[in-house]
Each structure stands twice: as C-alpha cells, then as structure tokens.
C-alpha cells in the first residue's frame, strides 16, 4: 500500500500548515503505508521531526519575487539574538521602500497563484512509474492541488484515489480582504477536478458547500492530527510559568496585541516566535523572534509550560496549533476570536475534551484566564494528551478508511 503526497512546501519549512502535513504523513506511515513525496526543495535545515519517506522528489520553486524577498527563506534561520537586535534598530529606509515597491510589482506578475506558480511549471516534467493507492495533495499552498490535477490528467501519476486536503480555503479567506473573482474561478477549477475534498473545520466545510455548491457532495471535513505526539516533559512542578506563542500573527488574520499587552502588564515570561517579528517590540520579559526552523524552534517550545492558541479574526478556520499541541503536557490557553456563532461551534467541539483554557480576545478575559492558570484553578481541565487526535486515527479518517 502506497501514497504519494504532493506539497508545495518543503517538509522542513516551519509553518502551521506544514506541521499538519507532517502529522498526516506520520499517520500514513504508522498505518503501514509507504509514503513518497513530491515537494519544494528542502531548505537545507535537517530535523529529526521530518517524516521518513520512501522516495523524495523535489523541484526548485524559488521565484524572482523570493530572490527579491530573501526574508522568506533566510529570516527563519536568523538567530534569536540577531532578531532582537534587528527589532531594536529597525527603520525602513529608502532602499527598503524601493525594494518593497519592486517586490509588489513582481508579485503581481504571477497571477492568482502568486510566486508558487513557478513550482507548478517546474513539476510538470515529473513522471513516476509507481501506481499509488492514494494521491494526497496538501494545500496550503493551493498550487499543490494544481500540480496534482495536471499530473493525474496527463497520466504522469496513476492513483486509485485522489484526495485534496485544504487546511485553508482560498477564495473565502481572500473574500474577507476584498479580492476579486479570479481566485474564485481558479478554486472552482481545482474543486471540479478533484475526487474527494477534505477541510479541517466544520465551519469551513459549511461555507465552502455554500459557495461552491456544485462540488458540495465531494466535500467533508476531518480534524488535524496532534503533531507533537511524543511529549514527555513534565511541567507540573514548575515554579514560574514560561508562556509561548509559536505561529504567525499578521494583524488582518490574528490579533495578538491583547495577549501581548497583558503579558507586559503582568510581567509574564513569554517567547513569541513568528511573523511579522517587527510588529511588536521586545520587552524585558516578552521576547520577540522571527519564524524559526523546526530544530531551533524546539528549544523554545520545550521550555514553554503554557502555550497560546490564537484563533483567527474570521473565516471559520481552526488554527492547527490547537491540535498539534493537544498531545503535549502543556497548559493550552485558547483565545477565541471572530464571529460569535463561529466561536460557539469551536468551543462546543473542543470543550468536551476538558483540555483547553478558553477566553475571549480582550485584555480582561485574557487576564482572568491567566489568573486561573497562575493559581492552578483549572477546574476539570487536565493537561494530558488527547488520543482522539493521534496521527494514525486522523490519517485513517482523512483517507476515509
């Protein structure tokens, strides 16, 4: 039994979506499948957390835009100390402004897929003789589905079943930011071509079935898997909690500022690792770092006894972190945001596990939740791994077995 995974990311790239990819892949392997991957070139950072593939097929997808914007591939390898130095002295000069305009102009040349379309054109030459039981295209990035559609249509890849995994919707997310109908048409083409379409949120599924009605019968959802499945660190006897937020926080997607303000006021010890690392200043007790490679990030994750899961401002997506961290022994502070009806669906689903400390994304609610954590007043909440999110169970659900 074998599976071909198609992903426009390198397996060692640190993002929430990529951690989710790796968790599914670990699940496939645990179920006994041989797993091949067609992916973007590795970033050159080795990590013991990368799954053990049978065959790895890579294509360079670096575009002119990314050459003009080296922070996409080099910021992540910056050291923690240099990140703080950069934050303290960051000023946008004339050179940076000119480069910013050039990057914007170049990016617009790539169309709706943005620079990732370069990887698509380079993978079109791929061909493999193996007949697969499953092809699983993993998007984000969405171009992964376009690559799968092309290779299957032209018999360069043969499979019994093709599953599109969408961690994020495309048009519906951009719709909230006023994008045009070109994205919707491109997404419809991908959905029309697919056999099975899987989302990772019940809210996203409902929205997608409404927007893309003719493909609604192909659609279903399953949770993400808990990536950190081998956590053995015991945090029960720590004297001073170390808080950690490990993810991106672009202000039009997630609002990290209320938690940051509370952390500064309450003198909490906090590590924040993600992009944009120049949005909030480092303080004595609150350290701001850029997105780090998995190997470097692990140092900060391991010392965090309390981790923050921050929900999006809208769109119905469930951050992968809530699943990925559910297998750890850490306290998880889940900060809800977005429309009230979406918050209720999310809270009702996760509260049954008695695993998460929930609060609203405002300073008062966050302060009250932190007081409960600091006073160990968690009621029936237990900081123990959730078996329902184990990689093998979720992988089996994704495959429809």
Residue 6 belongs to some domain of the structure: yes
CATH number (domain holding residue 44) = 3.40.50.2000
pLDDT at 399 over 90: yes
pLDDT at 277 over 70: yes
- The string of pLDDT tens digits covering residues 289-307 is 998 887 788 899 999 999 9
Q: Cβ distance 37 to 144 under 8 Å?
A: no
Q: Are residues 251 and 209 in the same domain?
A: no
- The string of pLDDT tens digits covering residues 24-50 is 999 999 999 999 999 988 655 555 568
Q: Are residues 125 and 215 in the same domain?
A: yes
Q: Say what the pLDDT of residue 78 is.
A: 40
pLDDT at 86 over 60: no
pLDDT at 82 over 70: no
Residue 230 belongs to some domain of the structure: no
Per-residue pLDDT band for 190 (boundaries 50, 70, 90) equals: very high
Residue 90 belongs to some domain of the structure: no
pTM (two decimals): 0.80
What are the Cα distances from residue 32, in Å, to 111, 160, 245, 392?
A: 40, 17, 34, 10
- Residue 178, burial from CB neighbour count under 10 angstroms (0-12, 13-18, 19+): exposed
Residue 102 belongs to some domain of the structure: no
Question: What b-and-e string marks burial along 34-67, b requiring 16 or more CB atoms within 10 Å of the CB?
Answer: bbbbbbbeebebebebbbebeeeeebebebebbe
Q: Are residues 52 and 120 in the same domain?
A: yes
Q: Are residues 178 and 248 in the same domain?
A: no
Q: Are residues 153 and 271 in the same domain?
A: no
The answer to whether the bond into 314 is cis (omega within 30° of 0) is: no
Residue 373 belongs to some domain of the structure: yes
pLDDT at 77 over 50: no
Q: Are residues 246 and 221 in the same domain?
A: no
User: What is the residue range of 120's domain?
Assistant: 2-63+113-225+393-399
| Residues across the chain | 401
pLDDT at 51 over 50: yes
Rounded Cα–Cα distance for residues 358 and 362 (Å): 12
Q: Are residues 191 and 253 in the same domain?
A: no
The residue-averaged pLDDT of 8-18 equals: 81
Per-residue pLDDT band for 96 (boundaries 50, 70, 90) equals: low
Residue 93 belongs to some domain of the structure: no
pLDDT at 243 over 80: yes
| Cα-to-chain-centroid distance, residue 300 | 18
Give the range among 73-77, 97-101, 238-242 with minimum mean pLDDT. 73-77
Q: Are residues 210 and 281 in the same domain?
A: no
Share of the chain above pLDDT 90, in %: 57
The residue-averaged pLDDT of 355-384 equals: 94
Give the range among 8-12, 135-139, 162-166, 340-344 with minimum mean pLDDT. 8-12
- The string of pLDDT tens digits covering residues 111-162 is 888 888 999 999 999 999 999 999 999 998 999 999 999 999 999 999 999 9
- The string of pLDDT tens digits covering residues 352-367 is 999 999 999 999 999 9
pLDDT at 315 over 80: no
Q: Say what the pLDDT of residue 17 is.
A: 79
Q: Work out how many domains the chain is built from and give that number.
A: 2
Q: Cβ distance 205 to 199 under 8 Å?
A: yes
Q: Are residues 309 and 207 in the same domain?
A: no
Q: Are residues 145 and 275 in the same domain?
A: no
Residue 376 belongs to some domain of the structure: yes
Q: Say what the pLDDT of residue 323 is.
A: 87
Mean predicted lDDT score pLDDT of the chain: 86
Q: Are residues 216 and 134 in the same domain?
A: yes
Q: Which residue has the higher pLDDT, 179 or 15?
A: 15
Q: Are residues 43 and 168 in the same domain?
A: yes
pLDDT at 265 over 90: yes
């Amino acid at each position: 039994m074998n599976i071909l995974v198609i992903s426009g990311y390198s397996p060692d790239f640190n993002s929430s979506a990529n951690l989710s990819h790796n968790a599914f892949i670990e699940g496939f392997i645990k179920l006994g499948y041989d797993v091949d991957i067609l992916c973007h070139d590795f970033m050159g950072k080795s990590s013991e957390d990368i799954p053990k593939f049978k065959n790895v097929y890579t294509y360079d997808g670096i575009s002119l835009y990314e050459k003009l914007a080296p922070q996409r591939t080099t910021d992540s390898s910056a050291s923690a100390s240099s990140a703080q130095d950069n934050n303290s002295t960051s000023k946008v000069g004339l050179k940076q402004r000119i480069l910013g305009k050039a990057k914007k102009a170049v990016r617009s040349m790539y169309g709706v897929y943005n620079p990732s379309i370069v990887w698509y054109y380079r993978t079109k030459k791929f061909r493999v003789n193996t007949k697969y039981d499953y092809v699983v295209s993993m998007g984000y990035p969405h171009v992964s589905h376009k690559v799968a559609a092309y290779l299957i249509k032209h018999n360069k890849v043969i499979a019994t079943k093709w599953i599109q995994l969408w961690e994020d919707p495309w048009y519906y997310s951009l719709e909230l930011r006023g994008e045009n109908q070109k994205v919707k048409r491109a997404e419809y083409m991908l959905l029309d071509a697919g056999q099975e379409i899987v989302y990772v949120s019940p809210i996203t599924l409902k929205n997608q079935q409404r927007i893309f009605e003719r493909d609604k019968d192909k659609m279903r959802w399953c949770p993400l898997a808990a990536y950190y499945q081998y956590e053995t660190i015991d945090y029960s006897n720590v004297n001073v909690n170390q808080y950690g937020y490990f993810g991106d926080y672009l202000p039009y997607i997630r609002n990290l500022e209320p938690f940051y303000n509370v952390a500064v006021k309450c003198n909490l010890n906090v590590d924040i690792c993600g992009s944009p690392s120049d949005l909030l200043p480092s303080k004595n007790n609150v350290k701001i770092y850029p997105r780090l490679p998995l190997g470097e990030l692990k140092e900060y994750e391991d010392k965090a006894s309390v981790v923050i899961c921050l929900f999006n401002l809208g769109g119905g997506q469930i951050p992968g972190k809530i699943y990925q961290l559910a297998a750890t022994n850490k306290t998880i502070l889940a900060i809800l945001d977005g429309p009230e009806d979406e918050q209720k669906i999310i809270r009702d689903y996760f509260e049954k596990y008695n695993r998460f400390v929930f609060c609203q994304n405002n300073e008062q609610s966050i302060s009250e939740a932190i007081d409960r954590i600091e006073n160990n007043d968690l009621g029936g909440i237990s900081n123990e791994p959730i078996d329902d999110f184990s990689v093998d169970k979720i992988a089996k659900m994704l495959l429809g077995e």
